[in-house]
Amino acid sequence: MSVLDLFSVEDKVVVVTGASSGLGVAFATGFAEAGADVVLAARRVERLAETAAAVEAAGRTPLPVATDVTDPAQCQAAIDAAMEKFGRVDILINNAGIGTAVPATRETPDEFRGVIDLNLNGSYWMAQCCARVMQPGSAIINIASILGITTAGLPQAAYAASKAGVIGMTRDLAQQWTTRKGIRVNAIAPGFFKSEMTDSYQPGYIESQSARLVAGRMGDPAELAATAIWLASPAGGYVTGQTIVVDGGVTIT
């Protein structure tokens, strides 16, 4: 096997949550272009048609499934559908999440709980369901954030707490499952990438952070997809329990 062969995810089955928009579309499209079939899980199932078309255009098979990851039963139903259609699940991209920017003195309990429930709890329920059916050599990739590591000038306590939780959860699931089940568990912590979250920022916010962007630009979602493909492929076979920061240098400034 050549070094390039190690990066192959050909004929794998990947579940992408939050696949209806933003980074979820990039992950789904990237894995399809790399040869994987893709289970498209999202609450807004009506918006999955475009992502499914992109997967088909890459020559692979999409499976759209309406999924609210805050409901463990819906997570289980999505994985059941994947097993019925494809017979296995090889990779999970735990991408579903929301971002908020609410001053801590004004954030309501429901607002805070809603972020934690989707970003942290939802990732856990989906990882649980996948781990029950995954075979040795499978991979789970949780999408964290640099805001689980640093701050970025906005009042984002709930979001930061949820993503720090994802990083801690990633370490623990790796130590539970890598030896016992042969499932590697890692996280990616993106910096500033175009998404629904960045679209909601006030004008001028990204520019205010430009001094921290050592790379001099926002990230391209395809760069995140490429990182995930590396982590999910045999090329990442000796990496587990890690959080890979992909941020153009924000966290070093």
37 Rama class: left (phi>0) / alpha (psi -120 to 50) / beta: beta
Reading across the β-sheet that carries 139-143, which strands appear in turn?
A: 62-66, 37-42, 13-17, 91-94, 139-143, 184-190, 243-246
Closest C-alpha among 98, 93, 54 to residue 198: 98
Radius of gyration of the chain (CA): 17
DSSP state for residue 144 in the 8-state scheme: -
Among candidate residues 159, 201, 205, 238, the one labeled active-site is: 159
Name the DSSP letter for residue 119: I
Q: How many angstroms separate the Cα of 234 from the Cα of each of 79, 144, 229?
A: 23, 22, 9
Alpha-helical segments (H) within the chain: 22-33, 48-57, 72-86, 109-116, 122-133, 157-181, 196-199, 205-208, 221-232
159 catalytic per annotation: yes
Q: How many residues does the chain have?
A: 253
Pairing of strands 37-42, 243-246: unpaired
Helices and strands in the chain: count of H runs, count of E runs: 9, 7
Catalytic residues: 159
